[in-house]
Amino acid sequence: MNTQIAVVGGGPGGYAAAFLAADLGMDVTLVERDKNLGGVCLQRGCIPSKALLHVAKTIEEVAHLADWGVAFARPAIDPAAMRTRKEKVVATLCGGLEQLAAKRKVGMIRAQASLQDSRTLKLAAVGNDPAKHDRLRFEHCILATGSRPVRIPALDSPTGRVMDSTAALSLAEVPKRLLVVGGGYIGLELGSVYAALGSRVSVVELTGHLLPGVDRDLVRPLQRRLAGKFAAIHLETKVVALAEKGERIEVTLDGDLEQKTQHFDRLLVSVGRRPNSEELGLENTRAEVDERGFVAVDSRQRTAEATIWAIGDVAGEPMLAHKAAHQGKVAVEAIAGEASEFLPKAIPAVVFTDPEIAWAGLTETEAKQQGRKVEVARFPWAASGRAQAIGRTEGMTKWLIDPAGKRVVGCGIVGAGAGELIGEAVLAIELGAAVRDVIESIHPHPTLTETLAGAAEVHCGIATDVYRPKRNA
Binding site for ligand FAD (CB under 6 A): 8-14, 31-34, 39-41, 44-46, 49, 112-113, 144-147, 165, 186, 276, 280, 312-313, 319-322, 324, 352
Q: DSSP string spanning 30-53?
A: EEESSSSSSHHHHHHSHHHHHHHH
Nearer to ligand FAD (CB atom), residue 11 or residue 454? 11
Least Å from the CB of residue 408 to ligand FAD: 22
Least Å from the CB of residue 315 to ligand FAD: 8
Among this protein's residues, is 234 annotated catalytic?
Answer: no
Left, alpha or beta for 69 (phi > 0: left; psi -120 to 50: alpha)? left
Name the catalytic one among 54, 326, 445, 459.
445
Phi, psi of 376 (to 5 degrees): -120, 130
User: Strands 120-124, 135-143: parallel, antiparallel or unpaired by DSSP?
Assistant: antiparallel
Nearer to ligand FAD (CB atom), residue 3 or residue 49? 49
Least Å from the CB of residue 375 to ligand FAD: 29
- The residues, any chain, with a CB within 8 Å of residue 284's CB and separated by 6 or more, are 115, 116, 117, 118
Edge-to-edge strand order for the sheet containing 396-401?
349-351, 356-361, 408-415, 396-401, 375-380
Least Å from the CB of residue 59 to ligand FAD: 20
Nearer to ligand FAD (CB atom), residue 14 or residue 380? 14
Burial class (CB in 10 A: 0-12, 13-18, 19+), 236: middle
| E strands, 35-156, in order | 107-110, 112-117, 120-124, 135-143, 147-149
Least Å from the CB of residue 38 to ligand FAD: 7
Nearest residue to ligand FAD by CB is 146
CB 188 within 8 A of CB 203: yes
Nearer to ligand FAD (CB atom), residue 351 or residue 401? 351
Neighbours of 28 (CB within 10 A): 28
Least Å from the CB of residue 208 to ligand FAD: 24
- The residues, any chain, with a CB within 8 Å of residue 91's CB and separated by 6 or more, are none
Q: How far is CA 364 from the centre of its chain?
A: 20
Rounded Cα distance between 449 and 418, Å, is: 9
Nearer to ligand FAD (CB atom), residue 33 or residue 386? 33
Nearer to ligand FAD (CB atom), residue 21 or residue 144? 144
Catalytic sites, residue numbers: 445
